[in-house]
Amino acid sequence: MQRVLSGDHVGFSGGTYYGPVTGMAEHHHHGPAPTATAALPVRPAAFTGRDAAVEQLLAALGPGTGPDGEPVLISAVAGLGGIGKTALAVHTAHAARERGWFPGGALFVDLRGYDSTRTTADQAVLSLLRALGVRDADVPATPADQYALYRSQLAGREPVLVVLDNVSDPAQVEPLLPGEGRHRVLLTSRDTLDWLPTRLVRLDELAPDAAVALVERLLRNTDPDDDRAAREPDALRELCALCGHLPLALLVTTAQLRRRRRRPVSALVEELREAQDLLGTLSHGTGSARDLRSVFDVSCARLGPDQRRLFRLLGQAPVNDVSTRTAAVLTDLTESAVLRLLADLDSASLVTPSADGTRWRMHDLVRAHALGIGRGDLPTERDNDVARARLLAHYARHARAADVQWRASRSALPDGDLFDGREAALAWLDAERAGLVGATAWTDRPGCAEHVVAVGLSLSGYLQQRRYLGDAAAVTRAAREAAVRCGDRMHEGSALTHHANALMKLDRRAEAIVASQQAVAIYTELRVPHGVATASCAVGNALYDLRRFGEALTAFTGARRVFAELGDQDGVANTWNGEGLVLAALGRHREAKKAFLQARSIYADQGNPLWEGITWHNLATALGDLGQVGAALTAFRRAVALLVEVDDWYRVAETHLNVATLVAAVGRDGDAAAAWTAAAVAYDRAGAPDAAADCRRRAADRTGRHDDARG
């Protein structure tokens, strides 16, 4: 076969030909052969957000040495398709050339490792030889000799940077590595290239601010008068979030904005929000380099069957960040077996491990792709359904056990085979919270409704204590819907009661009364007096917040009689506590003090540190209202000790706030400042930085007053 170079011209005009024809091009060379050692692609437009990665690569490409004293010969950029690897490599290569590090030139070859017909090393070496000035007639006949000539050409040059883009296989690269140590190679790949001794830079999606800056610059580059980004900053930020801050998706959406210059950013945001096929909407031309689904399909096609199944099932998880254990449950594999498969997905840049290697994150758009795999295929959908039900059963069992453990005091821990104490239970709940909450949306999935009830009810108290109040309302609502689907009236009543308590904390009092009254009706119908009394307490709490004190007192006292008849001491204590709050609001502080003392005594006997601490706090408030400041401060200190024991830092902070109010009222500004500071520390522990900052401002104000008084 004759090879014809681009630019050659062979004429066949003026004749009639029958059968095969061979044309011979006549070459006329004058002077040395041209070289193409400054053949880097143009620098990417609006390049932004990659400063740290650029510095990492430049540190490796520079004339210095690595930590072992040897030069870093090969650097690599790995990451998800569409993450911006080529842009980073090209930008960095230009920066390195500008620093004068590669006077011998820069060579660039796109190896198309993820195309249907990828470039082989045998093909690439011919391009590299031409770029180095070797004439076609001087190229040896065999690949082995061609590689030898390539290395010889490099040996006679000053340092050269060889950029090999889109590498997917070691066979594409290994023959192209220079033989001389002064040259450098920069690779890009969707795989981590652990088969080569590379200095690896793993590329993730852009930071939110960088994503916004990229879109804004691209719009301005096209039209300096395009001010949509400045006019709609919130919409632009949401647009970037819907794109998962993935550079390829951002480029596509920016192109859509440029095509319709009068279209507001918010209109495109609305289109993406409502899109049935988000990946399709975020693509430009099916099968093209800007078609996200095609980009992800290529990566998935390279996986083995076990890895493909894991990838698909990770897409069924309720969130994009899962533990190794969750992945094992989804696939019904051992953790050691699933770890090997997860490592393969990590190598393919389809998941990202946490720093400690215990959790695995999937990019939102990759997860959307995984979620759609096998849709409409009955065996695949059945496998997905079974995996979800298996995961939810796992969640239900662990959530029930964690609920028992975290409520217990450190001195009276129940036996448990799943968690070694309340700290372990809380740590699991904290780590898995997003997945647990997300899984309660599976009420209509086969085999899931019963487990949704268990998860929702088990999470309610934890979520309320941690102040994830929106989540608490969501999971209790889901538990109620699932109970209705199962025809489980008993758990429907329980879910309504829990839901009412969550609504109360969200200040949705009218809704809380409706939910709790519905629970009372269900328990009355089922003739379950304990349920009626529990729901009546929820009614009382809502009425108290609505300042309907007389009705609230009636609800609490009625519930207390039922609990007493049933021998439920915790229930009796809860109602005494509720009555105390109502009596205090009515100004009947001595009666309130007696009610709180009754509740405190029962909680202490029952070993319930959380509610004992809450009641000490309420008692302290009543004592303060009676003017017994010393006794009130003693009670507040006891409340803090108990609430710290159960890690309820929000209530610890609120207790310190009440101490500050009490001592400030009697002119003890120094003590008030100390209490505000203690409240700030507690809010920090609770994850409420804004509240902590406010407390520190108040502490500073009180400190200033205290200093003025002393002066």
Per-residue pLDDT at 16 = 35
Q: What is the pLDDT of residues 343-362, one digit of tens each?
A: 999 999 999 999 999 999 99
Q: Determine the Cα–Cα distance for residues 121 and 115; give it in Å rounded to an integer.
A: 15
Q: What is the pLDDT of residues 212-255, one digit of tens each?
A: 999 999 999 888 989 999 999 999 999 999 999 999 999 999 99
Quick check: 33 pLDDT over 80? Answer: no
If you average pLDDT over residues 82-101, what whole number do you get? 95
> Which residues of the chain does CATH 1.25.40.10 include?
547-647
Q: Name residue 532's amino acid.
A: V
Per-residue pLDDT at 262 = 81
Quick check: 12 pLDDT over 50? Answer: no
pLDDT averaged over every residue in the chain: 89
Quick check: 192 pLDDT over 50? Answer: yes
Q: What is the pLDDT of residues 626-685, one digit of tens each?
A: 999 999 999 999 999 999 988 889 999 999 999 999 999 988 888 999 999 999 999 999
Per-residue pLDDT at 5 = 37
Lowest model confidence (mean pLDDT) among 315-324, 493-502, 677-686, 695-704: 695-704
Report the CATH fold assignment for 303-373.
Answer: Arc Repressor Mutant, subunit A (1.10.10)
Q: Determine the Cα–Cα distance for residues 320 and 348; give it in Å rounded to an integer.
A: 17
Short-list 521, 517, 579, CA closest to 552: 579
Identify the bridge partners of residue 105 per DSSP, sorted by sequence position. 160
**123 touches 172 (CB < 8 A):** no
Q: Determine the Cα–Cα distance for residues 670 and 654; give it in Å rounded to an integer.
A: 18
Please list, in sequence order, all residues whose beta carbon lies within 8 angstroms of the beta carbon of residue 341, skipping any fewer than 6 positions away: 306, 307, 310, 331, 333
Short-list 333, 443, 458, 445, CA closest to 395: 458
Per-residue pLDDT at 69 = 57
**618 touches 581 (CB < 8 A):** yes
What does 305-342 look like in DSSP terms, one character per residue?
HHHHHHHHHHHHSSSSEEEHHHHHHHHT--HHHHHHHH
**339 touches 310 (CB < 8 A):** no
Please list, in sequence order, all residues whose beta carbon lies within 8 angstroms of the beta carbon of residue 503, skipping any fewer than 6 positions away: 473, 509, 511, 512, 515
Pairing between β-strand 352-353 and β-strand 160-165 as defined by DSSP bridges = unpaired
Please report which confidence band the pLDDT of residue 709 belongs to, taking 50, 70 and 90 as the band edges. very low
Per-residue pLDDT at 289 = 60
Give CA separation, 219 vs 112, 205, 224, in Å.
29, 20, 8
Percent of the chain with pLDDT over 90: 74
Quick check: 208 pLDDT over 90? Answer: yes
Per-residue pLDDT at 10 = 36
Quick check: 455 pLDDT over 50? Answer: yes
Q: Determine the Cα–Cα distance for residues 196 and 74; give it in Å rounded to an integer.
A: 8
Quick check: 14 pLDDT over 50? Answer: no
Q: What's the CATH code, domain 51-202?
A: 3.40.50.300
Q: Determine the Cα–Cα distance for residues 257 and 465; give it in Å rounded to an integer.
A: 45
Please report which confidence band the pLDDT of residue 25 belongs to, taking 50, 70 and 90 as the band edges. very low
Lowest model confidence (mean pLDDT) among 6-20, 85-99, 296-310, 678-692: 6-20
Identify the bridge partners of residue 359 per DSSP, sorted by sequence position. 323
Q: How many CA atoms lie within 13 A of 217 on its CB side?
A: 14
Q: What is the pLDDT of residues 156-189, one digit of tens each?
A: 899 999 999 999 988 899 999 997 778 999 999 9
Per-residue pLDDT at 193 = 81
**Which SS3 state, helix, strand or coil, does residue 287 take?**
coil
Quick check: 450 pLDDT over 90? Answer: yes
Q: What is the pLDDT of residues 549-594, one digit of tens each?
A: 999 999 999 999 999 999 999 999 999 999 999 999 999 999 999 9
Quick check: 284 pLDDT over 70? Answer: no
Please report which confidence band the pLDDT of residue 276 belongs to, taking 50, 70 and 90 as the band edges. confident
Short-list 181, 130, 127, 177, CA closest to 159: 181
CATH architecture of 547-647: Alpha Horseshoe (1.25)
If you average pLDDT over residues 250-271, what whole number do you get? 91
Please report which confidence band the pLDDT of residue 390 belongs to, taking 50, 70 and 90 as the band edges. very high
> Which residues of the chain does CATH 3.40.50.300 include?
51-202
Per-residue pLDDT at 705 = 55
Q: What is the pLDDT of residues 103-114, one digit of tens each?
A: 999 999 999 999
Beta strands in 317-443 (DSSP E): 321-323, 352-353, 359-361
Per-residue pLDDT at 17 = 31
Please report which confidence band the pLDDT of residue 21 belongs to, taking 50, 70 and 90 as the band edges. very low
> Which residues of the chain does CATH 1.10.10.10 include?
303-373
Per-residue pLDDT at 31 = 46
Edge-to-edge strands of the sheet including 359-361?
A: 321-323, 359-361, 352-353
Per-residue pLDDT at 194 = 81
- Show contacts of 124-129: CB within 8 Å, 24+ apart: 124/164, 124/172, 124/176, 125/150, 125/175, 125/176, 128/162, 128/176, 129/153
Quick check: 28 pLDDT over 60? Answer: no
Q: Determine the Cα–Cα distance for residues 415 and 404; give it in Å rounded to an integer.
A: 10
Q: Determine the Cα–Cα distance for residues 327 and 338; give it in Å rounded to an integer.
A: 7
Give CA separation, 231 vs 228, 234, 265, 358, in Å.
5, 9, 9, 42
Per-residue pLDDT at 198 = 87
> What's the count of helices (H) and strands (E) in the chain, helices before strands?
31, 8
If you average pLDDT over residues 282-292, what whole number do you get? 67
Beta strands in 153-255 (DSSP E): 160-165, 184-189, 199-202
Per-residue pLDDT at 2 = 37
